Each structure stands twice: as C-alpha cells, then as structure tokens.
Structure 1
Amino acid sequence: MLVKARSIEQRRAILDDTLLFDILLTLGGIREPDTLFPPNDVPGLQRLLNAIAESTYDALKKDCLVYYLLKWHRDGRERRFQRDRLIPPQFAQLAEAYWCLDAAVNVQIAVSLLSDSRLNQDYSSKILQAISTASDIDPHPLVVRYVRTAKPLLTEPDDLDLYLVALAHHGLFEAWNFQRSFSEVSPTRSRLFKKMLEWCVSRTSLLSVRFH
C-alpha cells in the first residue's frame, strides 16, 4: 500500500508538521515518524510495518494502526481486516476518525464518530486544529459540535480562541456568554473578549468590502 506522499506532506504542513498518526506512532516508541510515513515505495512501506510490529503497543493497537493505513486505499478493505482481526467497533471508529481528520476527508463523519462516549478524548488540540483546517466545508459548526458532544477539556489558549470564533460564527450571543463564563479577574476572559472584538471588527471590514 503506497499513499499519495505529496498530499500527505501538504496536510502535515498545514497541521504544524504533525499528523494524528504521527502522534500515535511516537507514543508507540517509534522515533521520527515523518521519516516513515508516508512511504514512497514498497521497501518504505515494509519499514513502516516493521516499526509498527516492533512498537510498544499491544496487538490490538498495532492492528488499529494498520487499519488506518488500509483506509488510504479507500476501497473498504480495512473493513475486512477489522473482521479478520476482531477489532472492536469503537477502536475501528477511532482509527477511522483519525484518518478522516488527517486526510481532511469526511470531517463531518469524524466529528460524529468522536461524539461516541466509548471513545477516549485524547489529542483534542490536534483534533480541533484538524477540524478547523478542513478546506472543503465550513469548519465552524463542526468545531462547535465537537466541543459540545465530545466535551474535551479546553485549556490551551489556541483551543479556547478557536472555539470562541466558532461560536461567534454560530451566534455572537453564544460567544459573549462563553467568554463571560470565566471569572472577571481571569486573564482568559479578557483575552477572549479582545478576540471577540477582533472578530467583530474583521467581519465588519469584510462586509464593508463586499458592499463597495
């Protein structure tokens, strides 16, 4: 299985040089995952599969990584692999969601899958980044939907800003209430308020350009 290396590298660059798959490989003890994925030839694919086989993961998690790789064929063969290897549905769903986000394909499906309470909610910052950088859809409703259904713990400033802007697109009153949910003395509240003002100014400027 050889993936389209150029499109993967472009997507990796958009995601600050780290795919969700890169994170998973690293957590399994695989160093410099970007040198292994995407493979450019058959020997490269074999090196990647060997690295997965020798990783610190258990058999189930290794199978999930292979499931992810099989998704790139986009012909359904990963489903047969799931049946043959008896991968539980929730694990296959998580691998499916991560593939959709890394590939920027069917991001709506990824958000739906991640709303399943059986799935862990790790890597929320990377997931939000992946959702927000999907180019063929309006990502703002999906950001709001992901946060409201999966309920990830938002602590990073970039994540909070991203959610505030998504809420503003959804409805300015909702964004206003979100920033007011923080204490009056919290620096987060003042930063989010400034972010909301910046969004309002930018929207006003954009509308002004459109009507002139």
Structure 2
Amino acid sequence: MVARVAGNVLTVLIPAHNEEDALGPTLRALQRQTAAPERVIVVADNCDDGTASVAEDLGAEVMCTVGNTHRKAGALNQALARLEAAPPRFVMVVDADTRLSPRFIETALREVARDPRMGAVSGLFVGEKPSGLLQQFQANEYIRYRTQIESTHRVSVVTGTASVFRYSALRDVAAHRGSDIPGTAGDVYDRSAIIEDSELTLALKSCG
C-alpha cells in the first residue's frame, strides 16, 4: 500500500545526461515506493537522446537545463533554484541508474524527520552482477563501503546515489557559499567540485 503524506513534503530530483536506457527502471522503482513523493522531476541536462520522452511516458516532470556547463552540480543548482517558489520540506537526489528498494523513501523520511538537527539521510547500495572487470571493481568498492558503514555506523559521504535532504539545510549551504564555505554565492552544489556529493557533505557539516 502506498502512503502519500499531505502537503509539499518530498520532491525527487533525478539529474540525467543521456540516460534513456537506465531511466525507466529508476522511475518504476520510485512508483513502487511505500511512501510516494509529491513530485518527481527528471533534470535533463544537455541531452540529445530520448531521456525526456522516457521520463514523460512514465509520469515524471521534465526540467531541461539552460546553458549548463558545470556538469551534475550545475544541473542540480538550476533545479533547486526552481523549487524556491514553492519549496518542499525535503528533497531527494537520485542518480538516473539507481533502483531504490521499496521502503527507502518511507525509512529515509522517518529518520530525517525525527531529529530537527539532521540535514540529510543517505543509504547503502549494492551493484548489479558485474559483466566486466571495471564493474567488478565497482562492486568491490560498494561492498567495502557498506562494510565500513555497518562497522562504524558513520557515513563519510551523503552519496549522490540516493539521499534525502532537509530543504532548509540546503538553503543554509547556499547562503554560506562564497563566504564561509567555497563556491559561488547562492549555489547549493559547488560548481567547481569534481565529486559534488562529497563536497556537499563537507559543506553541510561546516554549516552545522
């Protein structure tokens, strides 16, 4: 049974650059969640394939970036800026090739809502069955990361794979960009960072 929380609680942002092949399973996994988001927005970033069509066919909103030259960070900054007119309480960022387990949103919202000091909630992940050496290395890294978290109960990165953020915490980061923390004033994500989720984690911690 799918539960929908009243009010503008959760908006999902899926940054996607030419992801027509991966996007379908990602959106269908969102449709199977035990807690449904109010909005699912595919952020089509400089796409020249059928990403937007796949998103629309599966009921997602599509936002196309404009003049973005700052990769994923720039795409997400544009999407977050458009949410300011009617901001949700929480924002979830999901990679276009991530398939969430059915209770992910329900669990993440419960955890972030129970403590007003908590800015974000992330999760553990596993890779698909490797089909080559590079995928095997990636799967090994996922296992190592999971083992580390389960043994220490501490997360070093609020991963871009799938994470839920308190919207007010993201606005706090934007307010401190260019002064207390690196980046351009008003940006949530540092557009110069190569690993944007790692940098955002440090920024959130710096803002308390």
**Shared fold per TM-score greater than 0.5:** no
Which has more radius of gyration? 1
Q: TM-score, normalised by structure 2?
A: 0.29
Q: If each structure's helix is expressed as a fraction of its own residues, which one has the higher value?
A: 1
Q: If each structure's strand is expressed as a fraction of its own residues, which one has the higher value?
A: 2
